[in-house]
Amino acid sequence: MPFSPDDLFARLDALGIETTTVEHPPLFTVAESQALRGRIAGGHSKNLFLKDKKDQVWLVVAEEDADIDLKRLHARIGSARLSFGKPDLLEALLGVKPGSVTPFGAINDRDGRVIVVLDEALMAHDLLNFHPLTNEATTTIRRDDLVAFLKDCGHEPRIVAVSGADAAD
């Protein structure tokens, strides 16, 4: 059984990580979530759940408006060729449904199968925003606290330029 948002908040509290959460109607796309920009400060993300040709699973977390070339992304992150992961694999590994993909899902990946990649541009923000395992809320967390949370879940995140001029080969 995957962890719930309440379980996530309890884990964050146990780690001494402060967050704030804003509840809202379900949001499924970056475009829908942009309506909240005046209410929620910090960097906002898009989260790509990917699988490579060698069956390695990747979660790429980037700024919401990042231009990511999926045909070249594998070279940036050191993977085989990538495609989007299937919804059943997403639910099995991160415990979330499409539209709720989030780095907080690492709490559900108990076997450490997913490699988490954080875009350098996103990591320039002190405050970051993600769904707390449901797309009916947005949780704000400090950048360094996100990294600490991921490490506590057994996921050493890779910080890589996956978008922008620095990502060009």
Per-residue pLDDT for 168 more than 70?
Answer: no
Residues contacting 95, CB < 8 A, separation 6+? 2, 3, 105, 107, 108, 133
User: What CATH number did the domain enclosing 107 receive?
Assistant: 3.90.960.10
Sign of CA dihedral 164, 142, 94, 21: negative
Task: Count CB atoms within 10 A of the CB of residue 10.
Answer: 12
Closest CA to 47 of 3, 5, 7, 98: 98
Query: What is the per-residue pLDDT for 71?
Result: 93
Choice between 135 and 62, residue whose per-residue pLDDT is larger: 62
Q: How far apart are CA 129 and CA 131, in angstroms?
A: 7
pTM: 0.90
For 147, the enclosing helix (H) or strand (E) is helix 143-152
pLDDT at 27 over 80: no
pLDDT single digits (tens) 101-140: 999 999 999 999 999 999 999 999 999 999 999 989 999 9
Tell me how far apart the alpha carbons of residues 117 and 58 are, in angstroms, rounded to a whole number.
7
Q: Is the pLDDT of residue 169 over 50?
A: no
Pick from 84, 86, 65, 64: which is nearest to 73 by CA?
84
pLDDT value for 32: 63
What's the rounded Cα separation, in Å, for the pair 76 and 42?
A: 25
pLDDT digits (tens, 9 = 90+) for 40-55: 788 999 999 999 999 9
Would you say residue 81 has pLDDT above 60? yes
pLDDT at position 167: 46
| Domain that residue 62 falls in | 5-167
What total of structural domains would you count in the chain?
Answer: 1
